[in-house]
Amino acid sequence: MEEEIVIQSETETLKPKNPFYKNKKIMIPSCIGLVIIITLAIVLPIVLSNKVSYYNGSSYSGSTPNIGTNIGISSKFNFQTNYGHLSYNSWCNIGSDGSWMEIDTNPNNIEDYYSATALNKIKDVNKDLGFTDALYQKMITTRAIDGRQKDESSKAKVSWTYHPDKGLEVLYEQK
């Protein structure tokens, strides 16, 4: 009888301790379904966010976004969303609500100074917002006695002023 106990004991140790072992065929499909659900939960939002990524600001590729081809949720252009990366420069200020952006070619009002980078960015933003090249030419030839000038495109309004000591100051606003 002692031998039977040893054999029975060996048999018991060979049995798996996992309570789901008996239902192995049921558990495997459930695990595969769970993996599929988790994968969709991770991948689907990424795929969907890329459809409107430049308009809602969820990604930035290093260049100014082409807003003419974007579809978005909001009907108004948001400067914070589209140009927030420029606000790290001293020559760019953006309203916290995204309704306006100012580019100043001489933010510290230094005599006989201008930022070529800011001037080039004005040209780029004008193009992005649907303004003609003629507007940029008007901006860089504005005189102090001309006062504040204005223009608008189908996407935004812009006004600018120039002073020899303060540089060219351009204000873009939502339309």
State the pLDDT at residue 16: 52
101 and 42 within one domain = no
29-47 pLDDT, tens digit per residue, is 566 666 677 766 675 565 4
72 and 12 within one domain = no
Helix (H, G, I), strand (E, B) or coil at 158: strand
5-18 pLDDT, tens digit per residue, is 444 444 444 455 55
Q: What is d(CA 161, CA 37) in angstroms, rounded to the nearest whole number?
A: 56
**Taking residues 156-165, what's their average pLDDT?**
95
**Taking residues 87-100, what's their average pLDDT?**
94
Domain containing residue 88: 60-174
Joined tokens for residue 151: 């223009």
Q: What is d(CA 118, CA 92) in angstroms, rounded to the nearest whole number?
A: 8
47 and 9 within one domain = yes
152 and 94 within one domain = yes
19 and 69 within one domain = no
For residue 52, pLDDT beyond 90: no
* Listed residues 34, 51, 68: the one ending a domain: 51
Query: CA 154: distance to chain centroid?
Result: 22
- C-alpha dist (Å) from residue 159 to 30, 40, 124: 62, 47, 16
155 and 79 within one domain = yes
State the pLDDT at residue 77: 86
Candidates 67, 53, 51, 49; CA nearest to 174 is: 67
Q: What is d(CA 130, CA 152) in angstroms, rounded to the nearest whole number?
A: 9
CB 125 within 8 A of CB 103: yes
* Listed residues 51, 73, 88: the one ending a domain: 51
The tokens 């239902």 sit on which residue?
Answer: 23
Q: In 3-state terms, the chain is what percent helix, strand and coil (to 5)?
A: 50, 15, 35
Q: How confident is the model at residue 23 (pLDDT cuts 50, 70, 90)?
A: low
21 and 101 within one domain = no
DSSP 93: E
144 and 104 within one domain = yes
* Listed residues 31, 51, 71: the one ending a domain: 51
Whether pTM exceeds 0.75: no
153 and 122 within one domain = yes
Query: How many helices and strands (H and E) does the chain possess?
Result: 6, 5
For residue 72, pLDDT beyond 60: no
Sign of CA dihedral 70, 71, 74, 75: positive
State the pLDDT at residue 33: 65
**Domain count along the chain:** 2
31 and 100 within one domain = no
56-71 pLDDT, tens digit per residue, is 343 344 444 444 444 4
Q: What is d(CA 108, CA 78) in angstroms, rounded to the nearest whole number?
A: 26
Q: What is d(CA 106, CA 110) in angstroms, rounded to the nearest whole number?
A: 7
163 and 98 within one domain = yes
74 and 28 within one domain = no
For residue 49, pLDDT beyond 90: no
Mean pLDDT score of the chain? 76
